[in-house]
Structure 1
Amino acid sequence: MDHQLQSVLRYLQDNKLKLVTAESCTAGMIASTLADEPGSGCWLECAFVTYSEEAKMRCIGVKPETIKRHNLTSEEVAREMAEGALRAANANVAISDTGVAGPGPGEGGIPAGTICFAWSFEHKDGVTTFSETRRFDGDRNAVRHAATDYAINRIWHYHNALAADDARPHKLPEAV
C-alpha cells in the first residue's frame, strides 16, 4: 500500500469517518481501492456504481431536471450523487464522481478526462458538500485511476476545512 493511501485510511479511522461512494466514471474503483486494504470495514460502508443517467436518478435520487439543466458531467450532479448516497447509507462521509473518462469527448463536447467530484459530510445538524472539477490526462484507464486517487486524497482536505470553519470565530449579528 502506498504511503499516501495509508495516511488517508489512518485519517478515516482516527476521525471515525465511515464512507459511502457514488461512482460513475470510476465504476467502483474508489471503493475497490479502499476495500483492498485489511480492516476496510472500519471506514467503508457501501458503494453505488451509478453509471447510467437512470441509475443516478433511481438509486441515489439525482433529479432529472439537474441532469437536463447542467449535464451529467457537472458539479451539480456530483453534489446530488454524494448527498443522495449519504442519505441512503449508514455513513458520515460520501464521495461521488461523474465525468468523461474517454477516449472521446462527452455530451456537449466536454473534453475527455473531465471529472466532477463531490465530498459530502454529516456536519452539525446537516450536510456540508464540497465540489470541484478536474481534468486528467491519459487514456481511459489512466484517467479513472487518477480520478480515484484524487477523490480519496481530498477527503482530509475537506474534512479539515469543516474543522477550520468550526474553529473560526463567527461574528454574532448585532442586536436591533
Structure 2
Amino acid sequence: MNIPRSVVGFLSSRGLVIATAESCTGGLIASLIADVPGSGACLDMGFVVYSPSGKCGVLNVQAQTIEEHGLTSEAVAREMATGVFGLEACSAHIAVANTGLAGPPPKGTNLAPGTQCFAWRYKRRDGEYMFSETRVFDGDRTTIRQRAALYALSRVEYYFNQLPNVRRAP
C-alpha cells in the first residue's frame, strides 16, 4: 500500500487540505505528500521546527510546556498542531505534528530511542478536534524518521473517521 498516495486520494476526494509541523521528521511528512502527483490541491504548508526557539517562535508552543513535558511529548506535539492553525495564512483543515527522537535520548530522560510523539488536529464547521499518541520505532536514524512520517500519514484518515465520537479540542 502506498500511504502517501492513499492520503492524497483521501484528502482530494473530500476537498480537504493538510499542513504539517515537523521536528524529528524534518519535513519528510510534507515531502512524502508532495511526491504524489496532484498533491498541490491538498498540501497547504509545512514547517520544520527543530529547536525549542523554532517551536515557540513560529508555532507558539509555550516554553512552560517544553519545561514541564519535554521536547518529545504529546503536549508539545499538540501545541505544534494548534500553532499551525493559529497562523493567519493557514487554510488547512488538518494539521499533523511530530516531535521525537531518532537516536539515543538526552541524558536524564527515560525515553526509549525512537520515541515519536504525534498530534492530528482537525478543523470542521462544528469545531476543532485533536488526537495524539506516542509510538516507538526501531531502526537507524533514517529508518525511524521514515517510519514516523509514514505512520503520521497513515493515521490521517483513521482519525478523521473518529471525529463524530470525540470531544471538541480545547
TM-score, normalization by structure 1:
0.88
In the alignment, which residue of structure 2 is the partner of 1:57?
56
Larger Rg: 1
In the alignment, which residue of structure 1 is the partner of 2:74?
75
In the alignment, which residue of structure 1 is the partner of 2:30?
31
Question: After superposition, what is the alpha-carbon deviation per residue over 1:48-76, rounded to whole angstroms, capped at 9, x for unaligned?
Answer: 10000000000000001100111001000
In the alignment, which residue of structure 1 is the partner of 2:45?
46
Moved more, 48-57 or 80-89: 80-89
Aligned partners of 1:116 and 1:36: how far apart in 2?
24
Q: Gaps (5+ residues) in structure 2? A: none
Aligned partners of 1:26 and 1:72: how far apart in 2?
14
Aligned partners of 1:75 and 1:84: how far apart in 2?
14
- For the 8 Å contact 1:72–1:98, the answer to whether it is kept is yes
Moved over 6 A (4+): none
Question: After superposition, what is the alpha-carbon deviation per residue over 1:110-144, rounded to whole angstroms, capped at 9, x for unaligned?
Answer: 22100000000002343211000000000001000
The one-letter code sitting in structure 1 at the alignment partner of 2:137 is F
- For the 8 Å contact 1:130–1:158, the answer to whether it is kept is yes
In the alignment, which residue of structure 2 is the partner of 1:147?
148
TM-score, normalization by structure 2:
0.91
Question: After superposition, what is the alpha-carbon deviation per residue over 1:64-102, rounded to whole angstroms, capped at 9, x for unaligned?
Answer: 110011100100000000010122111110000001111
- For the 8 Å contact 1:114–1:136, the answer to whether it is kept is yes
- For the 8 Å contact 2:20–2:47, the answer to whether it is kept is yes
- For the 8 Å contact 1:100–1:106, the answer to whether it is kept is no
RMSD across aligned C-alpha pairs, in angstroms? 1.4
Matches within 5 A, 1:155-166: 155-162=156-163, 164-165=164-165
Q: Could you tell me the percent identity over the aligned residues? A: 45
Q: Gaps (5+ residues) in structure 1? A: 167-176
- For the 8 Å contact 2:3–2:150, the answer to whether it is kept is no
Give the drift of 1:31.
0.4
In the alignment, which residue of structure 1 is the partner of 2:130?
129
SS of match in other structure, 2:129: strand
Count how many residue pairs are aligned between Structure 1 and Structure 2: 163
SS of match in other structure, 1:32: helix
Give the drift of 1:165.
2.4
In the alignment, which residue of structure 1 is the partner of 2:84?
85
Aligned partners of 1:71 and 1:87: how far apart in 2?
22
Aligned partners of 2:106 and 2:162: how far apart in 1?
32
